[in-house]
Structure 1
Amino acid sequence: MVSKTIICDKCSQEIMIKDDLVTVTMFFEVIPYHEGCYASDLKGTGSFFINSRPLNGLSGTISTVISILFGLWVFFYTEGSFRLIALFFFIPILYRLYSYLAYERHLEA
């Protein structure tokens, strides 16, 4: 059941299928793209503000799992102020969760 219209940031057309959705971070904001628009426009670019890696899909899920494991490891096996460093490892998890809640759950499988 589709409950929200997701619009591609590049071509301004509706994204209807979950497999066609690619979400990336740009200036600390999660942006939706068609897979083709992402491949032709953003793939391979990257900077501090533009992350060219997709948040959703296999690579996004793997990086989220690695962030969870490493963040928990840092939190439980370090002492003092080093535990605050673990908070930085949870930022990709928040972006991935936001991507799912804002875009992916509204699309057909």
Structure 2
Amino acid sequence: MSKTIICDRCTKEITLKDDLVTVTMFFEVIPYHEECYAHDLKGTISFFLNNRSLNGLSGNISMVISILFGLWLVFFTEGSLRFVSLLVLIPIIYRLYSYLAYERHLEA
């Protein structure tokens, strides 16, 4: 797949999937090199920037937990609390978007 992925910090091309880290900033998914992320952004927590990467092991675990929690809310809550389960879709949508927009275009 031939989409060019550019690091938001150093503006160089990201060619390997292992070198890609995606994070959310201002409700947008941003790609970084792993080194650029570790240098500048890791440890930074704010309302607009989350300290967790969307891809990798932590992103996959978060997505599985979100799916399980969302299903639990749908089946075991009553009334209007069921609509809270829609909020659980947010991390799942971010993770899927990260995969579709960036990860699937890179070599393993």
For normalisation by structure 2, the TM-score amounts to 0.98
Amino acid at match of 1:105: R
Taking the aligned partners of 1:27 and 1:52, their CA distance within structure 2 comes to 13
Taking the aligned partners of 1:68 and 1:47, their CA distance within structure 2 comes to 25
Q: Deviations over 1:56-91 (max 9, x none)?
A: 000000000000000110111001100011011110
Amino acid at match of 1:25: T
Find the counterpart in structure 1 of residue 3 from structure 2.
4
Alignment of 1:17-96 (within 5 A): 17-96=16-95
CA shift at 1:9, angstroms?
0.1
Gapped runs of 5+ residues in structure 2?
A: none
Residue correspondences, number: 108
Runs of 4+ in 1 over 3 A off after TM superposition: none
Gapped runs of 5+ residues in structure 1?
A: none
Taking the aligned partners of 1:28 and 1:46, their CA distance within structure 2 comes to 14
**How large is the Cα RMSD of the aligned pairs?**
0.6
Taking the aligned partners of 1:91 and 1:27, their CA distance within structure 2 comes to 14
Amino acid at match of 1:64: M
Taking the aligned partners of 1:32 and 1:25, their CA distance within structure 2 comes to 9
Q: Deviations over 1:2-22 (max 9, x none)?
A: 310000000000000000000
Q: Deviations over 1:19-67 (max 9, x none)?
A: 0000000000000000000000100111221111000000000000000
